[in-house]
Amino acid sequence: MNPQTIACTVLAFALATPVYAEGDLSRANVIDVVIEMGTNDDGMYLKPDNYEFVTGQAYKLILINVDEIKHELSLNEMVERIFTRKIEIADEKGELVAEIKGNVREVEVGAGKTVEWFIVPVQTTDEPIEITCEIPGHLEAGMRASVMIK
Ligand SMILES: [Cu+2]
């Protein structure tokens, strides 16, 4: 190979290689997962009501409360199987209001508001675990979803 060919080969390889955030799994190739919270004719819901995550993959859970009342997302035992990088709260203009770091079990989302929860699952599940809204009456009204971590 002449030097030009080698340069082209190196460049082609560089372009084909995915870009990682210097080995930080919590920041690389984050997948957005929308979790809608609301009320419909059947009661209350988390939509979708079924999630599948993969260990080592970074996710941004986008909790969107489309309702006129507040709702909550409680991860229950899922919290022991994930790493929370941060939770972000922004105002109407998209300006950051707060960034919360550390181990969080549940997040309450105000009526019509959105909160972003950045996680990385670290442990698989043998059977589905349930995430819920723990506001009295809401679980009974249907606010639950099942989660598998592979
Ligand atoms: Cu609720």
Quote the domain boundaries for residue 95: 23-149
**How many A from CA of 134 to the centre of ligand 1?**
7
User: pTM of the prediction?
Assistant: 0.82
Whether 73 is in a domain gets the answer yes
Q: Is residue 9 in a domain?
A: no
Assigned domain for 105 exists: yes
Q: What is the CATH number of the domain that holds 117?
A: 2.60.40.420
Give how many domains the chain has, as a whole number.
1
Position 71 in a domain: yes
Residue 77 lies in a domain: yes
Confidence (pLDDT) at 140: 97
Q: What pLDDT is attached to residue 24?
A: 72
Q: Is residue 135 part of a domain?
A: yes
Indicate whether 124 belongs to any domain: yes
Structure tokens at 86: 């941060």
Q: Cα-flanking dihedrals φ and ψ of residue 34, to 5°?
A: -85, 130
Per-residue pLDDT for the chain (150 aa), expressed as one digit of tens each?
565 555 555 455 555 566 555 667 677 789 999 999 999 999 999 999 999 999 999 999 999 999 999 999 999 999 999 999 999 999 989 999 999 999 899 999 999 999 999 999 999 999 999 999 999 999 999 999 999 999
State in Å: Cα 2 to ligand 1 middle.
Answer: 66
Q: Is 147 helix (H, G, I), strand (E, B) or coil?
A: strand
φ/ψ region of 114 (left if φ > 0, alpha if ψ in -120 to 50, else beta) reads: beta
Q: What is the pLDDT of residue 141?
A: 97
| Model pLDDT, residue 13 | 52
Are residues 71 and 133 in contact, defined by beta-carbon separation less than 8 angstroms? Answer: yes
Per the CB < 8 A criterion, the answer to whether 59 and 118 are in contact is yes
| CA 57 to centroid of ligand 1, rounded, Å | 27
Task: Tell me, in angstroms, the distance from the centre of ligand 1 to residue 35's CA.
Answer: 12
Ligand 1: distance of its center to the CA of 93 in Å? 25
